[in-house]
């Protein structure tokens, strides 16, 4: 069965919308962007062949309106919809509505999304399929006594998790029985507020775990393979900061065992398209199923870097009905790749999202082993309504150290002004000796917090002098007109027979300084 796709609507925004459209255009497809009212001039809207205004500002008034998205696809002549990640990407109702409208969903069947939508149901399904699970309780009974008994059987420490959750919400580590009641009540409140579902599950808390995930891909002809793995252990509050592929120190035998388990998980739910099976890996080399993400992942570029494959192109071809182009034995594994996520956020204040205008935005130069996936440009506004990720920097090298050094060089070339970012924090993570030595686990950031998140120091005098000089030079270039030598066009305080002096009142964050330039 072959399905025709020549026009693709991307039901998303930001860097993932730009990234999907880049491949779609390379394949000769017409691209359609949807945007909210405040995203009318956003980069993804500017780069599309066709743009459709959804109105509104908040996601609930724009990017989450299923009827408007489907109407936009039909009005623009799109045969298929790519959901990106976030928003409706793992919404089974959205997938069903697309199919019911006679359109093609570039994702798995709705039944597969349903199967993995509940952590409890997913774990029960994986247990039946023979996929290794962390010891735990995933049942329907939700009373305190049930959880107390389960935790006693499992053995402390245990991890409480929201059954319908993600992103670290409704998740609590419990070290001893005396903490269980309060932690359970708190996690249930968080889960109810975030997901409208207070159901919990409890698992053995794996000490110093690594987060290793397997990229799987399946077609409509029964073929399914794994495209190696990614290590996503560097996290803050259960959200990924740095991702790399392949996972450092993973033996070929362990890679094969985890890959085959991931394929088994995908086949158990009749999966089609790109998906990721996430595992916890302990220090003894034992791995346990966590969850399956039924979509393309943020960190897919590192997999593309070590395989030379374009996963979005594969998604489009699989959606058309084509078989996977290679077999498992033909999957490449070339060198090493590392990705970091550049966010508009304030690491000095618990990583609170930052908003404002990108007065300055400079990405690193392109070149071999260098990739930037971004969704903004200088002058764009970072809104409070959406995820504050500006883009992703990806470096490839023949080995891990080469990739690390290349990514550090890329970060040194990156400059953002107008909003606070995590740029300096990312540099400190990559430069840390423990990261260089691949000492990775999910406790990396808390363990090295003193070095990674030092208290803000006083800015040196050289910084203020340089900032003042740059400001004056910029103002002079702006106003001097056609005669660069005219003293009357300058803004440097020139006067006949007297030294030129300019006093500037500058502010950087909470710090202020008056600088006198002569």
Active site residues: 295
Please list the helix, strand and coil fractions of the chain in percent, rounded to the nearest 5, in that order. 35, 25, 35
Residues 6+ apart with CB under 8 A from 110: 92, 93, 95, 96, 99
**Nearest-5° angle of CA 274, CA 280, CA 284?**
135
| Distance in angstroms (rounded) separating the CA atoms of residues 472 and 504 | 9
Residue 512, classified by CB atoms within 10 Å of its CB into exposed (0-12), middle (13-18) or buried (19+), is exposed
Residue 19 has φ and ψ, to the nearest 5°, of -65, -45
| Distance in angstroms (rounded) separating the CA atoms of residues 207 and 483 | 68
Is residue 200 a contact partner of residue 150, using CB atoms and an 8 Å limit?
A: no
Give CB contacts under 8 A, 24+ apart, made by 248-255: 248/400, 248/438, 248/440, 249/438, 250/212, 254/285, 254/287, 255/228, 255/229
Dig out the tokens for 399 from the structure. 């080995």
| Distance in angstroms (rounded) separating the CA atoms of residues 355 and 339 | 23
CA proximity to 213, closest of 298, 317, 119 = 298
Q: Is the peptide bond before 157 cis (omega within 30 degrees of 0)?
A: yes
Is residue 216 a contact partner of residue 227, using CB atoms and an 8 Å limit?
A: yes
Dig out the tokens for 85 from the structure. 């990640």
| Distance in angstroms (rounded) separating the CA atoms of residues 3 and 154 | 49
| Distance in angstroms (rounded) separating the CA atoms of residues 168 and 236 | 9
CA proximity to 82, closest of 101, 103, 67 = 103
| Distance in angstroms (rounded) separating the CA atoms of residues 407 and 411 | 6
* Helix residue ranges per DSSP H, 308-420: 311-320, 400-413
| Distance in angstroms (rounded) separating the CA atoms of residues 204 and 152 | 10
The kind and range of the H/E element at 148 are: helix 144-154
Distances in Å between the Cα of 145 and the Cα atoms of 37, 139, 149 are: 50, 13, 6
* Helix residue ranges per DSSP H, 278-354: 300-307, 311-320
Distances in Å between the Cα of 306 and the Cα atoms of 234, 246, 273, 303, 435 are: 20, 8, 19, 5, 20
| Distance in angstroms (rounded) separating the CA atoms of residues 126 and 120 | 10
């Amino acid at each position: 069965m072959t399905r025709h796709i020549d026009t693709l609507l991307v039901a998303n925004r930001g860097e993932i919308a730009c990234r999907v459209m880049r491949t779609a255009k390379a394949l000769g497809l017409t691209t359609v962007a949807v945007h909210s009212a405040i995203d009318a001039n956003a980069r993804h809207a500017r780069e599309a062949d066709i743009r459709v205004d959804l109105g509104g500002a908040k996601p609930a008034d724009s990017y989450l309106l299923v009827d408007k998205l489907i109407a936009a696809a039909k009005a623009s002549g799109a045969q298929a919809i790519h959901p990106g990640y976030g928003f409706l990407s793992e919404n089974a109702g959205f997938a069903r509505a697309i199919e019911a409208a006679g359109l093609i969903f570039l994702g798995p069947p709705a039944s597969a999304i349903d199967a993995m939508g509940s952590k409890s149901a997913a774990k029960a399904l994986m247990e039946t399929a023979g996929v290794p699970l962390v010891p735990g309780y995933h049942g329907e009974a939700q009373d305190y006594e049930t959880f107390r008994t389960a935790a006693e059987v499992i053995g402390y420490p245990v991890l409480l998790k929201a059954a319908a959750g993600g992103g670290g919400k409704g998740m609590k580590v419990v070290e001893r029985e005396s903490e269980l009641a309060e932690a359970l009540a708190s996690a249930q409140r968080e889960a109810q507020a975030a997901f409208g579902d207070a159901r919990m599950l409890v698992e053995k808390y794996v000490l110093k775990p690594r987060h290793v995930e397997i990229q799987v891909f399946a077609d409509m002809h029964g073929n399914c393979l794994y495209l190696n793995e990614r290590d996503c252990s560097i996290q803050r509050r259960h959200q990924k900061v740095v991702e790399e592929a392949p996972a450092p120190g993973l033996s070929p035998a362990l890679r094969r065992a985890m890959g085959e388990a991931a394929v088994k998980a995908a086949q158990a739910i009749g999966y089609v398209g790109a998906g990721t099976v996430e595992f916890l890996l302990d220090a003894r080399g034992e791995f346990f199923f966590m969850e399956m993400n039924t979509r393309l992942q943020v960190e897919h570029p590192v997999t593309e870097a070590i395989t030379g494959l374009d996963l979005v192109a594969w998604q489009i071809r699989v959606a058309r009905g084509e078989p996977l182009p290679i077999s498992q034995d033909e999957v490449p594994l070339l060198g090493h790749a590392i990705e970091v996520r550049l966010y508009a956020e304030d690491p000095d204040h618990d990583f609170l999202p930052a908003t404002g205008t990108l007065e300055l935005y400079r990405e690193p130069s392109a070149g071999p082993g260098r990739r930037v996936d971004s969704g903004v440009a200088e002058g764009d506004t970072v809104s409070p309504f959406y995820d504050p990720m500006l883009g992703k920097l990806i470096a490839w090298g023949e080995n891990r150290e080469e990739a690390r050094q290349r990514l550090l060089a890329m970060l040194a070339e990156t400059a953002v002004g107008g909003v606070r970012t995590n740029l300096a924090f990312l540099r400190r993570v990559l430069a840390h000796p423990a990261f260089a030595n691949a000492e990775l686990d999910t406790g990396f950031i808390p363990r090295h917090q003193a070095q990674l998140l030092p208290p803000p120091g006083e800015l040196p005098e050289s910084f203020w002098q340089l900032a003042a000089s740059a400001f004056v030079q910029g103002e002079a270039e702006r106003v001097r007109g056609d005669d660069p030598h005219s003293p009357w066009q300058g803004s440097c305080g020139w006067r006949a027979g007297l030294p030129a002096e300019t006093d500037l009142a500058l502010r950087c964050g909470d710090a202020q300084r008056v600088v006198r330039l002569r």
